[in-house]
């Protein structure tokens, strides 16, 4: 195996980690030193040659090779079997629909939200339940972290340089979950997007942080969704946002299942009930201008179509909390992209 990256010598692991800090290759947390043996194991797990181009980031004119992905995947603390997921996510980053430059450079501070579907999520022990967006699961934590390190170290998305985020959020460390396909009342998201259930896929979206809402009073989908929509309406902003992820956890998921509500039912209800008047947007300083009589009845939708709500089931079985995740940008902004995870 012929690696092209520059080699550095270190007397021990501690010195190697300090070298990575000094070179600016970390996200602030300690990293695993990328030895030739570890890099080789990552490449073998994906069946890729080191110099094979996986993605080309057009607006950065950067070629992302398998070797560079493998190095950052080691740095992140991944197991070799995680490598195919990360390769698919990087392919998605380069998709024109995602539009890398906008979310990567905006002051708005989006992160790369990742959803893994298919048998691979269970094989890798990816979390789709309790503490969904929290710590404790190696696969979730390190897969998401690897993608951010690739953005940083290979594509050059450095905070304060290319990444101009004013605030950012914790998802910039890692923002990766699996869908609870076993208990979901709906087909898995990747099936909704044209894949077979037995295929493996990763969906990425430029996303803000999860917004949790709670409703322990309602026993109907309409009741739960009324609360969700009321929370989302304030996010309408001055223009439609591209997409939202709706994450329904245990008790809310069970309410949807008992009532027989389909994913389409949820999408349509949320599309209609997240509309907000232009007058209200002006009153809360999200739209310029004085309020006119016509503004009271002029309604603006949160997203462009009902299908721009990505409805998934995940989270703990107990509790009356669910979440929504706003996408980055306006109606013409970054779109979610789903890619197949291929294994040799």
The pLDDT tens digits for 224-276 are 999 999 999 876 554 567 899 999 999 999 999 999 999 999 999 999 999 99
What pLDDT was estimated at residue 342? 97
- Per the CB < 8 A criterion, the answer to whether 45 and 86 are in contact is no
How many CB atoms are closer than 10 A to CB 12? 8
Of the candidates 172, 4, 174, which has an alpha carbon nearest to the alpha carbon of residue 86?
174
- How far apart (Å, rounded) are the C-alpha atoms in residues 31 and 307? 39
Both structure tokens of 178: 């699996």
Tell me the backbone φ, ψ of residue 325, rounded to 5 degrees. Answer: -125, 110
d(CA 239, CA 236): 7
Q: What is the pLDDT of residue 240?
A: 60
Domains delineated in the chain: 1-208+339-344 (no CATH), 209-326 (3.30.2320)
Report the alpha-carbon angle 85-179-137, nearest 5.
65
| CA distance readout (Å), 224 to 58, 217, 252, 305 | 42, 8, 7, 21
Let me know: does 313 contact 248? Beta carbons within 8 Å.
yes
The answer to whether 251 and 320 have CB atoms below 8 angstroms apart is yes
Q: What is the Rg, in whole angstroms, of the alpha carbon atoms belonging to the chain?
A: 21
- For the entire predicted model, the pTM comes to 0.96
Whole-number pLDDT of residue 234: 75
Predicted local distance difference test score (pLDDT) of residue 237: 55
> What pLDDT score does 146 carry?
98
Asked if 218 and 252 touch (Cβ cutoff 8 Å), the reply is no
274-310 pLDDT, tens digit each:
999 999 989 988 889 999 999 999 998 899 999 999 9
Strands 201-207 and 111-117, bridge-based pairing: antiparallel
> What token pair was written down for 78?
């991944």
Strands 299-300 and 176-178 turn out to be unpaired
Please identify every stretch of the chain with a pLDDT value under 70, giving residue numbers as ranges: 235-240, 331
Closest CA to 214 of 326, 323, 83: 323
């Amino acid at each position: 195996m012929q690696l092209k990256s520059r080699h550095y010598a270190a007397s021990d692991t501690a010195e190697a980690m300090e070298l990575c800090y000094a070179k600016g290759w970390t996200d602030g947390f300690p990293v695993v030193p990328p030895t030739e043996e570890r890099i080789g194991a990552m490449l073998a797990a994906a069946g890729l040659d080191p110099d094979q181009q996986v993605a080309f980031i057009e607006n950065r004119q950067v070629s992302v090779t398998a070797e560079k992905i493998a190095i950052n995947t080691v740095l992140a603390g991944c197991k070799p079997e995680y490598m195919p997921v990360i390769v698919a996510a990087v392919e998605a980053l380069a998709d024109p629909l995602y539009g890398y430059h906008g979310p990567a450079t905006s002051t708005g501070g989006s992160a790369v939200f990742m959803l893994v579907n298919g048998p691979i999520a269970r094989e890798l022990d990816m979390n789709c339940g309790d503490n969904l967006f929290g710590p404790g699961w190696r696969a979730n934590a390190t897969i998401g972290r690897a993608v951010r390190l690739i953005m940083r170290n290979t594509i050059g998305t450095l905070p304060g340089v290319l990444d101009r985020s004013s605030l950012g959020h914790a998802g910039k460390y890692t923002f990766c979950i699996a869908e609870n396909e076993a208990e979901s009342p709906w087909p898995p998201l990747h099936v909704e997007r044209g894949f077979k259930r037995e295929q493996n896929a990763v969906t990425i979206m430029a996303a803000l942080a999860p917004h949790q809402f709670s409703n322990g009073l309602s026993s109907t989908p309409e009741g739960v969704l009324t609360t969700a929509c009321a929370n989302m309406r304030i996010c309408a902003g001055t223009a439609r946002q591209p997409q939202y992820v709706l994450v329904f956890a245990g008790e809310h998921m069970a309410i949807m299942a008992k009532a027989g509500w389909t994913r389409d039912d949820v999408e349509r209800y949320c599309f209609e009930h997240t509309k907000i008047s232009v007058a209200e947007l002006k009153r809360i300083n999200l739209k310029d201008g004085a309020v006119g009589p016509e503004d009271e009845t002029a309604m603006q939708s949160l997203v462009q179509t009902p299908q721009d709500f990505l409805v998934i089931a995940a989270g703990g079985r107990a509790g009356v909390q669910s979440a929504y995740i706003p996408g980055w940008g306006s109606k013409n902004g970054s779109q979610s992209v789903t890619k197949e995870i291929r294994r040799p």
